């Protein structure tokens, strides 16, 4: 099965399920289903993701804010997109991290109570594209784009930490640092 599921460490009663889709031909339709609340998930641009751990950090943060009633965005899944970004501009976050109609690949991510995923039975039948093993995610990452969006300086920072470490540090500290 191409669905990747991992329990959330900060909220053990919840989990994240995600799929990687290539050659997607109906992203606009999927976005419409999300906007109409027919499906409860978010669509993420794979080039912006260095590693699945980046997704887990954003999902943990989004769920924590959701459960504390401190979300910035309207829904739990839009909060995941917002949590991926270091920008405080919601529209900018959606443009950079949310799948656009003309993208050909996407990640569909769902946060759910453990054992309650609806991804396989409700969402995947609506997807027109090829399901790719989630382990192939690094092949879709664009490190240059990630460095630009997260403002990672190649010369100084790269010497002391990995790209993933730099990204996760920025996501984790965004409540404490203004950009």
Q: Is residue 48 part of a domain?
A: yes
Please check whether residue 65 lies inside any domain of the structure. Answer: yes
Any residues with CB less than 8 A from the CB of 41 and at least 6 apart, and which?
A: 34, 77, 108, 109, 110, 119, 123
Cβ–Cβ under 8 Å, residues 8 and 61: no
Give per-residue pLDDT as tens, 53-66.
999 999 999 999 99
Domain of 98 in residue numbering reads as 4-172
Assigned domain for 158 exists: yes
| 178 within domain boundaries | no
**For the segment 65-92, what is each residue's pLDDT rounded down to a tens digit?**
999 999 999 999 999 999 999 889 999 9
pTM exceeds 0.75 for this model: yes
Residue 110 sits at the vertex; the CA angle it makes with 103 and 133, to the nearest 5 degrees, is 60
pLDDT band at 163 (very low <50, low <70, confident <90, very high): confident
Residue 45: inside a domain, yes or no? yes
Three-class DSSP category at 107: strand
- Domain count along the chain: 1
* CATH code, 58: 3.30.2380.10
> 131 forms bridges with which residues in the sheet?
21
In a domain, 118, yes or no: yes
145 assigned to some structural domain: yes
For residue 169, how many other CB atoms are within 10 A of its CB?
16
């Amino acid at each position: 099965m191409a669905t990747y599921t991992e329990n959330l460490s900060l909220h053990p009663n919840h989990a994240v399920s995600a799929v990687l889709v290539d050659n997607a031909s109906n992203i606009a339709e999927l976005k419409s289903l999300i906007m109409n609340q027919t499906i409860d998930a978010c669509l993420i641009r794979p080039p912006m993701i260095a590693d699945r751990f980046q997704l887990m950090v954003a999902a943990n943060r989004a769920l924590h804010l959701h459960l504390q009633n401190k979300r910035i965005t309207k829904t739990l899944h839009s909060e995941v997109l917002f949590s991926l970004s270091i920008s405080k501009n919601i529209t900018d976050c959606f443009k950079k991290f949310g799948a656009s109609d003309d993208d050909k690949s996407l990640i569909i991510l769902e946060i759910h109570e453990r054992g309650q995923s609806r991804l396989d039975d409700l969402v995947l039948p609506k997807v027109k594209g090829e399901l790719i093993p989630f382990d192939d995610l690094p092949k879709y990452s664009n490190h240059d784009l990630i460095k630009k969006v997260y403002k990672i300086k190649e010369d100084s920072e790269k010497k002391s930490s990995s790209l993933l470490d730099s990204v996760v540090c920025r996501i984790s500290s965004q409540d404490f640092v203004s950009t």
